[in-house]
Copies of this chain bind each other. A is one copy, B any other.
Amino acid sequence: MTEDPAPVDAPERPPRTMSRDARRVQLIEATIHTIAAQGLAWTTLTQVARRAGLSHGLILWHFETKENLFRETLSYLAEEYHLNWQVALAAAGPHPADQLRAMMAADFNAPIIEPGRLAAWCAFWGEAQSRPLYQQVCGDKDDAYIRQLERICAALTPPAGTALDPVLAGRMLRLVVQGTWLDMMTTAPTYSVAEAQRTVEAALAMCFPDYFAAAPTAERPAPTPAG
């Protein structure tokens, strides 16, 4: 359907020889953006290769199979995401509220919410075929993220008069973040990133009003003409 794109990640003919790792990263980045553009299932090796300005044979030289290319792409994304929140957490102050704010904010760092990456994540979540792969590659890291959130929530005092479970609180915060990601991909016109962040801040304020201030008023997107 869609025209194959001109090489994007390789403006000039790339050097014939490149370090093994650099080539692999180049191909993985091309894969991420092809998935974003075409969808996971409609991504072909030829499209990925064209985007990278290389031949499809080279992809198989480096990754053996298409399945494996996808596995390593997902692994690359998962590692990137994992490092992102861990670095943010390490940079935050010792107070649990600061840590929680840091983790939530990190989920909206520019490299994380780059449209190509969000689209790739959603593509991996969506397909039944990719679900076992997803569990294999991301299961542990997702788990670590969830546990970390719960630990921090457990260290904060719940609102007076309630008995907010830290597991519930952590889950809710995660769902709101994940949900805004999904919204950014599926609804059009999407609300702004700032608006997404304000939604998360509102959730924080509701969960832990003693530590977070309520968010200001939301902006309202203009209504779409019916499709």
Decide yes or no: A227 and B128 within 8 Å by CB, A172-B199, A218-B168 being known contacts: no
Is A123 in the interface zone, CB < 8 Å from B? yes
Chain B residues within an 8 Å CB radius of A175: 175-176, 178-180, 183, 199
Alpha-carbon distance between A21 and B71 when the two chains are bound, in angstroms: 40
Q: Nearest-CB distance from A10 to chain B (Å)? A: 22
Residues of A at under 8 Å CB distance from B? Answer: 35-42, 115, 119, 122-132, 134-137, 139-140, 142-143, 162-165, 167-169, 171-172, 174-176, 178-180, 182-183, 185-188, 198-199, 202-203, 205-207, 209, 214-218, 220, 223-224, 226-227
Chain B residues within an 8 Å CB radius of A130: 36-39, 42, 119, 123
Decide yes or no: A174 and B179 within 8 Å by CB, A129-B185, A130-B36, A227-B140 being known contacts: yes
Report whether B199 and A163 are in contact in the complex, using a CB–CB cutoff of 8 Å.
no
Report whether A125 and B128 are in contact in the complex, using a CB–CB cutoff of 8 Å.
no
Decide yes or no: A37 and B128 within 8 Å by CB, A143-B226, A188-B135 being known contacts: yes
Decide yes or no: A122 and B119 within 8 Å by CB, A39-B131, A131-B39, A218-B165 being known contacts: no
Alpha-carbon distance between A129 and B44 when the two chains are bound, in angstroms: 14
Alpha-carbon distance between A162 and B161 when the two chains are bound, in angstroms: 17
